[in-house]
Structure formats: structure tokens, C-alpha cells
């Protein structure tokens, strides 16, 4: 028994006339009669009585038709929801992000996406890049906004550069270097750095380790702390300096100053959107359409081993 047969039975119960029912369904009257008879024969019950050109629904038919009508509504709902899901209009999207993504890229994209796709259950989780990558590979995230850290995996990962910004030196306002218009790495390496702890500092160490080595120094860690507000507070107390993406300058913290870096070839802070190549969630491509796109030709070449 298919949807067309159920619909023929339901419409006939409403019209109680073969001619009007056939016209409403866009078929011939003989074809309609065959559908109804086929259902009755298949079920072994009589749904309609036919006498003196009058049609009536039997008691058994009334019960069957009530459930058939509900089944048709469910089928139509299922089709409609499947179509909406295919268009990314319903479903779930689990997005992971690093802390710095929340300063610029994330709020704009999420605000626009929620407005355009209000029926999608959008879940947000903040983690460090290594954790985001782990969750993504395990299928527990749909998209990650993270730093482009290196990884070895047999799974295909797709990446897109969505944001790029310079680093700034964050110094106490009363430090002698704070009076300058910019800071040189050669001067900063002599000072203790306030840096994130453990794996959270992997990306910064990968970027600045070679630069520090070129000027004959290692990164001298004065204090490790994971939370950005705590890091800025430690800088303001005079414990050391920090190297942070320029977007943190939007945070007004008394006692610190932000200086651009004057040393040539200083690395940029990059933010990438990463998702699995075998992912089938349609919501992913629609969310990606709300993320900025950086001209990443050079980045793809430089990071092809990531």
C-alpha cells in the first residue's frame, strides 16, 4: 500500500463521490475505483458501501481512514522536514572555537546564521586547537574555528583561512619600552613572557620559536596562564609581556599598552575553519557561507603539510 492509495481512500471519504474524487486527484474514475478495490482486497475489509449510486464509509472504514489521514500527515511532514534538512534549515550544528575567534569572526557569523536559520540547533563549545581537532576527528564537532596546527591523520580534513591579523606586544604602561611607537623582537626577548600553559601555547611557540632563535634567544617564560583576562592582569602588574593577536586591543585593561611589532617577517595570527571531508551535515556549508574568506593562495602552499 502506497501514499497514492491512502490519499485516494482519504479523499473519497471526504467527497463520497467517485467523479469528484477522481477530478480532485487528477485521475480517471476507473483508475480510482481500481485503487480503492485494491486496498480493500489487500486488507480484506470493506471501506465503503456502494448502493443506488450512493457511497458511505463503513464503521471499519471510518477507523482505518482516521489512521490513514494521520499517516498521510506524518508522511508529508517527513518529506517536508527532509527537504528543509537538505536545505540546511533544520537539524543540528556543533561549532567549536578558540578563544580569539570570539573577538571578531564568531559573533558576526553566529548572529547572521541564527537570523537566517533559526530552526537549526546551533551549539557552541570553546576549546584549544588541539582539543578541537581531536573532537572533530572523532565526529563530535561539525566545524572548528581554530589555529592551523599540524596534524597527522588518514581522514580528509578541509580547511579555509577565515581571518588573519598581526600580533602586538602587550606591555605594562610603566615599562621603558612602552613609550616607543613599536616594539622589536630583539628587545622583547630579554624580558619574561606571559604565555598560555601547555598545549594552548603550541601555536604561538611554533610561530615565534624560529624568530626568537634567529635573534639568538629562546622564549623566556615568566608565567604560564590560560585565561586571557588573567594574562593581561599579570602584564599590568609588571611580571612580563605578552604576544597576542591584535584583536585583543579591543579589550580595555588598565595598566597595559599595545605596541605593533616592528621586526620584519613577523608571523600573523591565522584562524581557519576546519571540517571533515566525509561530513554530510548540510548545515555546514551554509554556516561556512557566513564566514569571511581570506585570499589564502599563499597560505595553502605554505601549509600544505598541515
Give domain limits for the chain: 3-86, 91-154+275-302, 163-268
CATH class of 91-154+275-302: alpha beta
SS3 45: coil
Fold of 3-86: Arc Repressor Mutant, subunit A (1.10.10)
Taking the C-alpha atoms of residue 23 and residue 2, their distance in angstroms, rounded to an integer, is: 20
List of the chain residues with pLDDT < 50: 297-306
Cell of 70: 494521520
The burial class, CB within 10 Å (0-12 / 13-18 / 19+), for 144 is: buried
Taking the C-alpha atoms of residue 179 and residue 174, their distance in angstroms, rounded to an integer, is: 8
SS3 202: helix
Cell of 173: 604602561
Taking the whole predicted model, whether its pTM rises above 0.75 is answered as no
Q: Are 272 and 148 in contact (CB under 8 A)?
A: yes
| Backbone dihedral angles phi then psi of residue 236, each to the nearest 5 degrees | -65, -25
The tens digit of pLDDT for each residue in 22-55 reads 999 999 999 999 999 999 999 999 999 988 778 9
Taking the C-alpha atoms of residue 270 and residue 203, their distance in angstroms, rounded to an integer, is: 10
Q: Which residue has the cell 626577548?
A: 189
pLDDT of residue 161: 95
Residues in Cβ contact with 127 at an 8 Å cutoff, skipping those fewer than 6 apart: 96, 97, 98, 135
Over its C-alpha atoms, the chain yields an Rg (Å, rounded) of 32
CATH class of 163-268: alpha beta
pLDDT of residue 1: 78
91-154+275-302 and 163-268 share one CATH topology?
yes
Taking the C-alpha atoms of residue 207 and residue 222, their distance in angstroms, rounded to an integer, is: 19
Nearest to 171 by CA among 154, 188, 186: 188
H helices within 117-274, ranges in order?
A: 129-137, 185-188, 202-214, 228-236
Amino acid at each position: 500500500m502506497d501514499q497514492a492509495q491512502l490519499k485516494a481512500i482519504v479523499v473519497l471519504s471526504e467527497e463520497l463521490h467517485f467523479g469528484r474524487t477522481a477530478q480532485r486527484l487528477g485521475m480517471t474514475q476507473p483508475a480510482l475505483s481500481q485503487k480503492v478495490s485494491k486496498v480493500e482486497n489487500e486488507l480484506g475489509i470493506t471501506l465503503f458501501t456502494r448502493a443506488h449510486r450512493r457511497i458511505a464509509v463503513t464503521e471499519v472504514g471510518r477507523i482505518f481512514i482516521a489512521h490513514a489521514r494521520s499517516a498521510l500527515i506524518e508522511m508529508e511532514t517527513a518529506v517536508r522536514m527532509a527537504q528543509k534538512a537538505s536545505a540546511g534549515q533544520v537539524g543540528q550544528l556543533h561549532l567549536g572555537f578558540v578563544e580569539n575567534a570570539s573577538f571578531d569572526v564568531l559573533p558576526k557569523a553566529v548572529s547572521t546564521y541564527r537570523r537566517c536559520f533559526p530552526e537549526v540547533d546551533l551549539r557552541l563549545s570553546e576549546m584549544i586547537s588541539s582539543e578541537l581537532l581531536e573532537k572533530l576527528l572523532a565526529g563530535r564537532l561539525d566545524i572548528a574555528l581554530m589555529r592551523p596546527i599540524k596534524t597527522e591523520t588518514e581522514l580528509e580534513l578541509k580547511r579555509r583561512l577565515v581571518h588573519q591579523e598581526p600580533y602586538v606586544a602587550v606591555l605594562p604602561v610603566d615599562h621603558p619600552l612602552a613609550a616607543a611607537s613599536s616594539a622589536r623582537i630583539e628587545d622583547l626577548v630579554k624580558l619574561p613572557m606571559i604565555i598560555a600553559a601547555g598545549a594552548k601555547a603550541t601555536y604561538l611557540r611554533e610561530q615565534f620559536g624560529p624568530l626568537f632563535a634567529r635573534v639568538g634567544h629562546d622564549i623566556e617564560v615568566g608565567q604560564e596562564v590560560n585565561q586571557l583576562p588573567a594574562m593581561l592582569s599579570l602584564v599590568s602588574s609588571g611580571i612580563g609581556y605578552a604576544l597576542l593577536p591584535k584583536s585583543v586591543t579591543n579589550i580595555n585593561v588598565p595598566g597595559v599598552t599595545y605596541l605593533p611589532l616592528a621586526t620584519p617577517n613577523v608571523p600573523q595570527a591565522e584562524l581557519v575553519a576546519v571540517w571533515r571531508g566525509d561530513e554530510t551535515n548540510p548545515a555546514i556549508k551554509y554556516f561556512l557561507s557566513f564566514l569571511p574568506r581570506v585570499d589564502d593562495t599563499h597560505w595553502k602552499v605554505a601549509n600544505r603539510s598541515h
